[in-house]
Amino acid sequence: MRTSYSALETFRQCPQKYKFQEIDKIKTPKSKEAVFGTLIHNSLKFLFSRDPLYPSMDEVIANFRDSWRASDIANMTEDERSLYLTQGENILKRFYVKNQPWNFNVVDMESRFELSITDPRTGTVHIIAGIMDRVDKPTDDTFEIIDYKTSRKMKSQESVDDDLQLSLYHLGLLRRWPHIQANNIALSLYYVKHNEKITTSRKQEDSKRVEEQILTAIRDIETRTAQNDFPPQPSVLCDWCGYKAMCPAWKFMFIKPETQNLKHENMEETIKEFFTLKKNNQETTKRLAELQTEIKTYMDKEGVTRVFGDAGVISKTVQERHTYDYEKIRATLEAHNRFDVWNALLKPDDKTLKTLLLSLPSPLKEQVLEARSIAKKFEVLTATMKKLS
């Protein structure tokens, strides 16, 4: 398989989008955010493109302004275009002041790389391709890989320390220039909207872990491809997805009135009735809880354990939940030579395992999950009621 970090990230975020994009090869117009990000990247490349006479700040701003005005973005108002233009200019001005190009030894920009990873299970060679925004050489012995981000949300230091994209860049540079020491490469995400850089590093021994992460994802993709199983994964990212109108998770919303049939209209009525009943059920449940509290308060005050009405009897009983001292239990069972009972208590338990997985580091968690297989597959319906204003 030939793939890239961005494709693997798309698969992680939403398998259905991955299928549309990477397997079906369905093209969609770039969003305004994507176009904006591309032009910011291009302007930052232009900023470091000359040596020793680097462009002035005004030239960098003019470069972005010309590119933005020449861009063709569907469904964008003039007010939006103006706001994005202003934001882009402000980003580049702040960046230029903090990162004057003559202060950096930039050795490469938009540096393409390819990694070959062999799956030991099948012998298949997979190619991972990528592009590093910028590679610096701060000193004679050190390098820094910088990836620009135009997103508003910044990752935590912990997330950056475990970031797969930066790990791939690290591995890519080591494969290109094997003489470099792994711990002499700094890895940075530069969030241009905030003018902040978050830096991390990797060790030589991290390479094997990175390869395993990639192989785990590739194996999952291969299995799902064979089964044609790419379920949608709705999230906040759906609002920026070009496949939303054709996605099974959203397609219902995009059926035009003139193409609706009787089945569609009936389904709208069915959905309406479903939520009406669900709302009534919630109100009933809430009222039952209030009545139970009122009845229990009365029982406690009057010292009774049962109350009677024409419709039936309500009784108050005491139920107990227990916790166990398993060390004492083990000692007791061992004293009676009942190892069979103790061993039964230690049988694998899926619920316990799922809880333990949450505390495992990402690489170990992924290795454990490789031992997982689907025992049964079934469909369920979940409902989310809109909040009343």
Mean pLDDT of the chain: 90
Domains in the chain, number: 2
User: Does 253 score more than 70 pLDDT?
Assistant: yes
Tokens of 293: 């509290």
The residue out of 287, 315, 343 marking a domain boundary is 315
pLDDT of residue 86: 97
pLDDT of residue 384: 65
**Using one digit for the tens of pLDDT, what is the confidence trace for 176-185?**
999 999 999 9
Structure confidence at residue 163 as a pLDDT band (50, 70, 90): very high
Residues 215, 306, single domain; the answer is: no
Give start and end residues of each alpha helix (H) in the chain: 5-13, 15-18, 32-47, 57-70, 78-98, 157-161, 164-176, 206-227, 262-302, 326-335, 339-345, 350-357, 362-369
Residues 200, 61, single domain; the answer is: yes
The residue out of 294, 315, 336 marking a domain boundary is 315
Beta bridge partners of 315: 306
Residues 102, 138, single domain; the answer is: yes
Residues 303, 171, single domain; the answer is: no
Among the listed residues 24, 9, 69, 13, the one whose alpha carbon sits nearest the alpha carbon of residue 228 = 24
**Residue 248: inside a domain:** no
Asked if 57 and 65 touch (Cβ cutoff 8 Å), the reply is no
Structure confidence at residue 378 as a pLDDT band (50, 70, 90): low
Tokens of 241: 């997805």
**Residue 345: inside a domain:** no
Q: Judging by beta carbons within 10 Å of its beta carbon (0-12, 13-18, 19+), is residue 65 exposed, middle or buried? A: middle
Residues 27, 81, single domain; the answer is: yes
Residues 213, 173, single domain; the answer is: yes
**Residue 251: inside a domain:** no
3-class SS at 284?
A: helix
pLDDT of residue 382: 61
User: Does 10 score more than 80 pLDDT?
Assistant: yes
Residues 169, 235, single domain; the answer is: yes
User: Does 343 score more than 90 pLDDT?
Assistant: no
pLDDT cut 70: percent of the chain above it: 94
**Residue 167: inside a domain:** yes
Asked if 235 and 16 touch (Cβ cutoff 8 Å), the reply is no
**Using one digit for the tens of pLDDT, what is the confidence trace for 88-118?**
999 999 999 999 999 999 999 999 999 999 9
Residue with the bigger pLDDT between 379 and 41: it is 41
Of 263-267, 312-316, 348-352, highest mean pLDDT? 312-316
pLDDT of residue 260: 67
Residue with the bigger pLDDT between 191 and 364: it is 191
Residues 202, 297, single domain; the answer is: no
**Residue 275: inside a domain:** yes
Distance CA 252, CA 21 (A): 21
Distance CA 138, CA 186 (A): 10
Write the CATH number for 37.
3.90.320
pLDDT of residue 259: 67
Structure confidence at residue 25 as a pLDDT band (50, 70, 90): very high
pLDDT of residue 380: 54
Residues 128, 154, single domain; the answer is: yes
**Using one digit for the tens of pLDDT, what is the confidence trace for 127-151?**
999 999 999 999 999 999 999 999 9
pLDDT of residue 381: 55
What range does the domain containing 291 cover? Answer: 257-315
**Residue 310: inside a domain:** yes
Structure-token match 């950096």, residue found: 104
Residues 235, 262, single domain; the answer is: no
In the chain, the amino acid numbered 37 is: G
Asked if 84 and 68 touch (Cβ cutoff 8 Å), the reply is yes
Structure-token match 């389904």, residue found: 267
Distance CA 303, CA 299 (A): 6
What is the residue-wise DSSP string for 219-251? HHHHHHHHHT-------GGGGG-TTGGGSTTTG
**Residue 290: inside a domain:** yes
The residue out of 296, 315, 334 marking a domain boundary is 315
Rg (CA), the chain: 30
Task: State the CB neighbour count (10 A cutoff) for residue 209.
Answer: 19
Residues 301, 270, single domain; the answer is: yes
Residue with the bigger pLDDT between 365 and 4: it is 4
Residues 235, 287, single domain; the answer is: no
**Residue 39: inside a domain:** yes
Angle formed at CA 46 by CA 45 and CA 52, multiple of 5 degrees: 105
pLDDT of residue 80: 94
pLDDT of residue 389: 45
pTM of the model: 0.77
Q: Residues near 265 by Cβ (< 8 Å), separated by ≥ 6?
A: none
